């Protein structure tokens, strides 16, 4: 039936293979033989979603259960949406082709604030009411996971529950409970109340948000009698060597963003960059053993046929056993003609020995993320890289024949002054000069220094969660100042869309009242807001205005430590006292040593029985 | 070292895979089989694979040909079984044997086209127009051609490239059997034919399914 409906559509849309399914290793089951049908939704394109490791893990994990069938769903691109709407095709799951409406659980992974309109659009395309309160039946249940869940409040009205933290264990518990209640014919209310008893389950409808007169949140309180916990603590997997990792992955037939096997080497980060949400919310640090990583890389390559494997984590160079791991990988990767890429090597861990070990295979490119242009500002953000380290790593790279370097910076960081902006241009120029100072540089080749500049976005559960973001207008000024300072044609300067960053901050820091804004913007046509060619900032401005909400209240206002923050109903392990301490140190431009050197007492180790692999 | 020519079909959802996607799928599938395939040298080695004639995106193929060089090992049938097990839905290995003819000998391809219309009248009009024009022996189409580096549009007469043509109406569908020029020199995409017929008849099919059945040589014998 669906096949017939799609027949006339597919030849008319871009990249039709996004919408057909049938990839190698995709899982087909008999729908009559399972109790739970789970639609795993990624609210962005197929190519992006299929590159996402977490989705692959949960897909396999759920499909391991004989009682459940997990299928994949991605956001249709705008052309496909038009065709689907005009022909009445409902959003369907790729494996069965069935409409989402008939599923038991619709699970969204929330990776990026600018995909929120896609979430609404997908629910609507499935023919479902958007608001949780309007979906009365037990099924389909709409749940959310992923990093944005550390402040799910802007989406709270649309979701039945959120799963803060790592999903591997809680999903199983949730499916067990759901199965029981489905068999018993429970109402949604009864089920949700029971689910709120599972550790790491946040049921937003069981909480009431109390506001102060100025519009700030006074508290998020469990409704009396609901039995919901006062704070929901994120879940985590204690032993990564025993954490579930699939032995086979769906292999997309079309090219995706990360077309390779990726294997996690550890979770958490030992660095403590003060702006970096990922660095805080995945704590404490838990490492996998090199044996496990090596075996998983090999199994991944064999089941997929990929010719590239990448080790992933927030900062792979900080993996304590990177050298023995690289050695054991290189034992088979060359023979199997598999490329090994280590994407997020930090400059100060780019050791010569490791780099030499990797010479037989392709390295993924030389990138540095100083984030700020001067040492003072780097100290404020606790990015512990010195200019000297960057320059000597670049010199080594040039000596080894590299001709391009990529640098990442941010504008609008707390404490930024004009000198910091000048520092960005100066550092880029120093690297250009360094290249020409190398007498053995390849003849006739010129150097390219790409400088990619984002806008600082304050995020929940970071030391900067209280900070104000610069307005888009302020950022515009800073951008043009930086542009005026860059003289060399060897420097390629690019800016991330500042209006997107502004919106990202609003939703990262927002509260439940923003639900109306998202819905209004979506109704007026906003989709794929993270895509430059689709993003429509004017429609967003109109949406804020018509809902009577001021985006700068959320993004451009500095909050005091006394203010309750909308996401403080959740507990991600890092204590507020620690974040306050870090914020105060930032104000004094005082660095905090990496967790390897000294535990900073973030508190997250309590989630792991007091242990943390960063400092044991 | 031996070359095996695999015959495969690419149908259903797999017809939306581009030629590049197909190359990638086959490469990965070969890697999964663990067969001892010959690789290119260099920084980014990949297996030696050649396709006799790429199939345009959106079309099905029943007997497409792909050559792979093996250094050592199993016979064609074993290789075909292993490769077949490593492919996505819609791509099936239907044969494997040492190559007989060089790909340069391909001159034609035979197609089975199914076009669905909104109503019987449209289907009949389309068919009548098609038959009349083919009988008259003139049916112009614009084809992009390479002139040096630039791409230019050139007008060709499709009838000169039409070796066989039959059309029938079945309900609201028109079924066309056609043999068209194919190969490196004069490849005529059947969408050129359906496009020209759409223009001349002024009726537009709702859907069209193009199936390339077999690649043929000058003597109209199958390329194998
Ligand atoms: S517990 Fe200590 S060592 Fe571990 S992440 Fe927190 S601050 Fe770092």
Which pLDDT belongs to residue A529?
97
Contacts of B94 (CB under 8 A, 6+ apart): B7, B8, B9, B62, B63
Residue B86: inside a domain = yes
User: HSE on the CB side for A212, CA within 13 Å?
Assistant: 10
Average pLDDT, chain B: 92
Is the per-residue pLDDT at A442 higher than 90? no
Whether B95 and B108 map to the same domain: the answer is no
The token pair at A563 is 């203010």
Task: Calculate mean pLDDT across residues B211-220.
Answer: 97
Count the domains in chain B.
Answer: 2
Is the model's pLDDT at A400 over the cut of 90? no
Instruction: Give the CATH number, domain containing residue B175.
Output: 3.30.2350.10
Residue A350 has pLDDT above 70, yes or no: no
Q: Is A615 in the pocket of ligand 1 (CB under 6 A)?
A: yes
Going by pLDDT thresholds of 50, 70 and 90, the confidence category of residue A190 is very high
Query: Is B222 a member of any domain?
Result: no
Kindly state whether residues B160 and B147 are assigned to the same domain: yes
CA distance A325 to chain B (A): 22
Q: Tell me how far the alpha carbon of residue A289 lies from the centroid of ligand 1, in angstroms.
A: 19
The torsion of the CA quartet A426, A427, A429, A430, rounded to 10 degrees, works out to 120
* Ligand 1 center from residue B61 Cα (angstroms): 58
Q: Cβ of A305 and B28 within 8 Å?
A: yes
The enclosing domain of B37 has a CATH number of 3.30.70.580
Ranking A123-132, A503-512, B7-16, B32-41 by mean pLDDT, the lowest is B32-41
In a domain, B87, yes or no: yes
B135-183 pLDDT per residue, tens: 998 888 888 877 777 888 888 899 999 999 999 999 999 999 999 999 9
Residue in A closest to B37 by C-alpha: A336
Looking at the predicted structure, is the pLDDT value of residue A345 above 60?
Answer: no
Count of CB atoms situated within 10 Å of the CB of A170: 21
Computed over every residue of chain A, the mean pLDDT equals 92
- Are B66 and B144 members of one domain? no
- Taking only the tens place, the pLDDT of each residue in A118-161 is 999 999 999 999 999 999 999 999 999 999 999 999 999 999 99
What's the ipTM?
Answer: 0.88
Q: Which residues, other chains included, contact A591 with Cβ-Cβ below 8 Å and sequence gap of 6+?
A: A379, A382, A384, A585
Polymer length of chain A: 616
pLDDT in tens, A538-551: 999 999 999 999 99
> Which stretches within chain B are classed as H helix?
19-33, 76-85, 120-136, 190-201
Q: Is A310 exposed, middle or buried (0-12, 13-18, 19+ CB in 10 A)?
A: buried
Asked if the Cβ–Cβ distance from B46 to A339 is below 8 Å, we say no
Q: Which residue has the higher pLDDT, A456 or A8?
A: A456
Model pLDDT, residue A511: 97
Q: Is B42 domain-assigned?
A: yes
The burial of A522, by beta-carbon neighbours within 10 Å (0-12 exposed, 13-18 middle, 19 or more buried), is given as buried
Residues B210 and B115 in one domain: yes
Q: Show Cβ contacts of residue B139 under 8 Å, excluding neighbours closer than 6 positions.
A: B133, B157, B158, B159, B162, B193, B196, B197, B200
State the pairing for strand pair A68-74/A36-42: parallel
Domain limits for position B28: 2-99
Chain B: residue whose CA lies nearest to A304: B32
Q: Based on the domain organization, do B131 and B83 belong to the same domain? A: no
Q: Is residue B135 part of a domain?
A: yes
Which residue is associated with the tokens 């609008």? A412
Which of B34, B64, B99 is at the close of a domain?
A: B99
CA distance B37 to B33: 10
Of the listed ranges A397-406, B10-19, B118-127, B175-184, the one predicted with least confidence:
A397-406
Q: Higher pLDDT residue, A154 or B75? A: A154
Task: Give the integer Cα–Cα distance in Å for B146 and A334.
Answer: 40
CB distance A605 to ligand 1 below 6 Å: yes
Both B75 and B141 in one domain: the answer is no
Could you give phi then psi for residue A37, rounded to 5 degrees?
-105, 125
Domain contains B171:
yes
pLDDT band at residue A1 under the 50/70/90 scheme:
low
Read off the pLDDT band of A247 (50, 70, 90): confident
Residues B91 and B117 placed together within one structural domain of the fold:
no
SS3 A222: strand
Q: Which residues of B touch A305 (CB under 8 A)?
A: 27-32, 86
Do B24 and B73 reside in the same domain of the chain? yes
Q: Could you tell me the end-to-end alpha-carbon distance of chain A, in angstroms, rounded to an integer?
A: 58
Q: Which atom of ligand 1 has the smallest separation from the CA of A605?
A: 1
Residue A346 has pLDDT above 80, yes or no: no
- Token pair for A602: 């973030």
Residue contact A24–B87, C-beta within 8 A: yes
User: CA–CA separation, B36 vs B58, rounded Å?
Assistant: 32
Chain A: residue whose CA lies nearest to B35: A336
- B165 and B88 housed in the same domain: no
- Mutate which of A462, A581, A599, A608 for ligand 1 pocket (most atoms within 8 A of beta carbon): A599
Q: Please write the tens of the pLDDT for every residue from A276-299.
A: 999 999 999 999 999 999 999 999
Residues B126 and B88 placed together within one structural domain of the fold:
no
Residue A349 has pLDDT above 60, yes or no: no
Same domain, B51 and B72: yes
Using DSSP's 3-state secondary structure scheme, residue A244 falls into coil
For ligand 1, atom 6, name the residue with the nearest CA: A602
Domain membership of residue B223 (yes or no) is: no
Give kind and range of the element (H or E) at residue A378.
helix A375-381
Greater pLDDT, A259 or A133 = A133
The reported pLDDT for the residue numbered A453 is 97
Residue A364 has pLDDT above 90, yes or no: no
Least confidently predicted of A97-101, A324-328, A413-417, B144-148: B144-148
Task: Answer yes or no: do B30 and A305 touch at CB < 8 A.
Answer: yes
Q: Which of A605, A606, A608, A611 to mutate to test the pocket of ligand 1 (most atoms within 8 A of CB)?
A: A605
Mean pLDDT of A256-272: 89
Choose one of B42, B71, B99: the last residue of a domain: B99
Backbone angles phi, psi at A209, to 5 degrees: -100, 125
> In B, which residues are within 8 Å of A10 by CB distance?
16
Decide: A602 in ligand 1 pocket, CB within 6 A.
yes
CB contact under 8 A, B32 and A16: no
pLDDT for res A542:
98
Model pTM? 0.92
Kindly report the nearest CA distance between residue B196 and chain A, in angstroms: 18
Q: Is there a single domain that holds both residue B179 and residue B198? A: yes
Number of alpha carbons in the 13 Å side-chain half-sphere of residue A614:
29
Residue B93 within any structural domain of the chain: yes
Q: Return d(Cα A496, Cα A454) in angstroms, integer.
A: 5
Domains and CATH numbers, chain A: 2-233 (3.40.50.2300)
pLDDT of residue A361 exceeding 50, the answer is no
Among B59, B78, B99, give the residue marking a domain's end: B99
A165-179, A190-204, A248-262, B166-180: which range is least confident on average? Answer: A248-262
Q: Which pLDDT score, from 0 to 100, does residue A504 have? A: 97
């Amino acid at each position: 039936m669906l096949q017939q409906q799609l027949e006339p559509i597919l030849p008319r849309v871009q990249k039709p293979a996004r919408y057909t399914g049938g990839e190698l290793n995709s899982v087909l089951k008999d729908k009559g033989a399972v109790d739970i049908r789970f639609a795993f939704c990624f609210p962005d394109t197929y190519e992006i979603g299929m590159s996402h490791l977490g989705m692959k893990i949960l897909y396999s994990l759920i499909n391991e259960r004989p009682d459940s069938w997990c299928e994949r769903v991605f956001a249709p691109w705008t052309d496909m949406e038009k065709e689907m709407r005009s022909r009445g095709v409902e959003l369907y799951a790729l494996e069965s082709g069935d409409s989402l409406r008939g599923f038991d659980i619709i699970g969204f992974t929330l990776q990026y604030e600018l995909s929120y309109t896609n979430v609404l659009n997908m629910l609507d395309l499935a023919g479902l009411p958007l608001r949780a309160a309007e979906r009365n039946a037990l099924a389909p249940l709409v749940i959310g996971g992923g990093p944005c869940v550390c402040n799910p409040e802007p989406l709270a009205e649309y979701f039945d529950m959120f799963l803060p933290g790592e999903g591997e264990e809680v999903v199983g518990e949730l499916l067990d409970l759901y199965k029981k209640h489905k068999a018993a014919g429970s109402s949604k209310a009864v089920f949700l109340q029971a689910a709120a008893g599972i550790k790491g389950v946040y049921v937003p409808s069981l909480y009431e948000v109390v506001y102060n007169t100025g519009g700030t949140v006074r508290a998020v309180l469990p409704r009396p009698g609901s039995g919901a916990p006062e704070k929901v603590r994120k879940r985590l997997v204690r032993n990564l060597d025993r954490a579930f990792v699939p032995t086979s992955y769906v292999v997309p037939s079309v090219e995706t963003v990360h077309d390779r096997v990726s294997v996690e080497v550890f979770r958490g980060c030992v660095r403590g960059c003060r702006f970096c949400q990922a660095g805080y919310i995945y704590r404490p640090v838990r490492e996998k053993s090199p044996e496990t990583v090596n075996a998983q890389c090999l199994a991944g390559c064999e089941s997929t046929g990929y010719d590239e494997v990448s080790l992933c984590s927030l900062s792979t160079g900080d993996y304590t056993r990177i050298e023995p791991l690289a050695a054991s990988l290189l034992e088979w990767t060359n023979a199997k003609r598999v490329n090994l890429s280590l994407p997020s090597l930090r400059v100060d861990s780019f050791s010569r020995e490791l780099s030499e070990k990797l010479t037989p295979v392709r390295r993924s490119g030389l990138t540095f993320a100083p984030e700020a242009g001067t040492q003072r500002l780097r100290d404020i953000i606790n990015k512990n890289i010195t200019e000297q380290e960057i320059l000597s790593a670049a010199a080594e790279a040039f000596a080894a024949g590299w001709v391009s370097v990529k640098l990442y910076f941010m504008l609008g960081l707390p404490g930024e002054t004009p000198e910091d902006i000048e520092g960005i241009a100066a550092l880029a120029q120093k690297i250009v000069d360094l290249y020409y100072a190398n007498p053995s540089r390849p003849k006739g080749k010129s150097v390219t220094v790409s400088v990619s500049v984002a806008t600082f976005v304050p995020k929940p559960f970071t030391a900067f969660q209280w900070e104000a973001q610069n307005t888009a207008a302020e950022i515009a000024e800073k951008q043009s100042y930086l542009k005026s300072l860059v003289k060399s044609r060897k420097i390629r300067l690019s800016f991330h869309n500042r209006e997107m960053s502004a919106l990202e901050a609003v939703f990262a820091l927002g509260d439940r009242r923003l639900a109306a804004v998202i819905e209004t913007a979506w109704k007026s046509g906003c989709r794929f807001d993270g895509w430059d060619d689709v993003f429509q900032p004017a429609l967003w401005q109109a949406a804020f205005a018509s809902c009577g909400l001021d985006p700068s209240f959320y993004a451009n206002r500095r909050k005091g430590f006394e203010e309750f923050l909308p996401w403080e109903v959740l507990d991600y392990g890092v204590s507020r006292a620690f974040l306050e301490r870090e914020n105060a140190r930032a104000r004094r431009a005082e660095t905090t040593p990496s967790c390897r050197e000294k535990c900073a007492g973030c508190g997250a180790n309590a989630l792991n029985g007091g242990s943390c692999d960063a400092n044991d | 070292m031996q070359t095996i020519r695999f015959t495969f079909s690419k149908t259903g959802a797999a017809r939306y895979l581009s030629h590049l996607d197909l190359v990638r799928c086959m490469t990965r599938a070969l890697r999964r089989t663990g067969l001892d395939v010959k690789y290119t040298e260099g920084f980014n080695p990949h297996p030696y694979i050649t396709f006799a004639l790429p199939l345009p995106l959106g079309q099905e193929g029943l007997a497409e040909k792909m050559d792979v060089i093996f250094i050592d090992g199993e016979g064609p049938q074993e290789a075909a079984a292993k490769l077949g097990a490593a492919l996505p839905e819609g791509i099936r290995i239907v044969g494997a044997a040492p190559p007989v003819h060089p790909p340069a000998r391909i001159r034609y391809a035979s197609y089975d086209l199914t076009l669905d219309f909104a109503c019987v009248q449209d289907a009949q009009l389309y068919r009548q127009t098609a038959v009349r024009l083919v009988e008259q022996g003139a049916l112009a189409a614009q084809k992009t051609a390479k002139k040096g580096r630039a791409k230019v549009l050139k007008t060709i007469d499709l009838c000169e490239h039409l070796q066989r043509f039959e059309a029938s109406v079945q309900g609201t569908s028109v079924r066309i059997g056609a043999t068209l020029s194919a190969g490196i020199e004069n490849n005529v995409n059947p969408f050129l034919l359906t496009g020209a017929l759409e223009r001349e008849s002024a009726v537009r099919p709702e859907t069209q399914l193009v199936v390339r059945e077999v690649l043929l040589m000058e003597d109209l014998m199958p390329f194998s």
